[in-house]
Amino acid sequence: MNFHQLQYAIAIARHGLSVTHAASALGTSQPAISRALKALEKELGFELFVREGRAFTRITPEGARVLTFAGRALAEIDSLRAVAADLNQDARGTLAIATTHTQARYVLPPVVQAFRQRYPEVDLHLHQGTSEQISEMVATDRVQLAIATGSEALFPELVLLPVYRWHRQVMVPKRHPLALRDPQSKLTLQELARYPLVTYVFSFTGPSSLETLFAREGLKPRVALTARDSDVIKTYVRLGMGVG
């Protein structure tokens, strides 16, 4: 098993199961890809793709698992090459990062500042969007790095590295009943469920962490408004539309 075998298999999957398109994208020949794939499948002991005649029609269940691990392995190799290039010469070029508005405004400024001081010849481009949009940007190679929160289901083909954990906090106007309670007492979900909520847009891939948290207690949140931007959420909380 070698790098090119894994690279060719992933290229076939990414180019509509077409060996022709995969070969064109990688600048190699169709026979070379076919030979490498056969050698890889022989070593693994099973086929990665279902064949009908000379065409591939779908990825086998075993192939799906192999391609997932292969994608991670190739990503690690790319990272190693990037580190080596960084160590051997002054870093130059462009780095495109996809992230959410909240991360870009509240988390990344000191990080970006430190990065620019260390790598002044690298041009940074920050692309903001929802977790779904960020996933799409990475999948289509518009960015090299994504910093996002959300369900792991949004990023099935990517290498995920934990960076930090969010700690949810409740925001209310100064005269809200929750602001007048004993600050030493613990706020429960049962209390929170009595009020409308202003929160982040839920993911389209499944229940959000907020919904899951309430469901564990047999509760359903009363969502008055959802938004993608933390500043928008704060604005509507100030107007008394709900608990943020």
Q: What are the phi and psi torsion angles at 28 (to 5°)?
A: -130, -175
80 pLDDT more than 80: no
How confident is the model at residue 154, as a pLDDT?
Answer: 66
> Could you report the per-residue pLDDT of 21-55, keeping only the tens digit for each?
998 888 989 999 999 999 989 888 999 999 988 88
How confident is residue 203, by pLDDT bands cut at 50, 70 and 90? low
Better pLDDT: 143 or 206 = 143
> Could you report the per-residue pLDDT of 111-159, keeping only the tens digit for each?
888 888 888 888 889 998 887 788 888 888 888 888 877 666 667 777 7
DSSP, res 179: G
How confident is the model at residue 227, as a pLDDT?
Answer: 82
- Other beta carbons within 10 Å of 162: 5
Domains of the chain: 3-81 (1.10.10.10), 90-154 (3.40.190.10), 177-238 (3.40.190.10)
How confident is residue 89, by pLDDT bands cut at 50, 70 and 90? low
> What average pLDDT is seen over the chain?
83
How far does the chain reach from its first CA to its final CA, in angstroms? 52
Q: What are the phi and psi torsion angles at 129 (to 5°)?
A: 180, -175
Q: What is the mean pLDDT of residues 172-201?
A: 85
- Selection from 58, 55, 7 nearest residue 33 by Cα: 7
205 pLDDT more than 50: no
DSSP, res 105: I
How confident is the model at residue 91, as a pLDDT?
Answer: 66
How confident is residue 207, by pLDDT bands cut at 50, 70 and 90? low
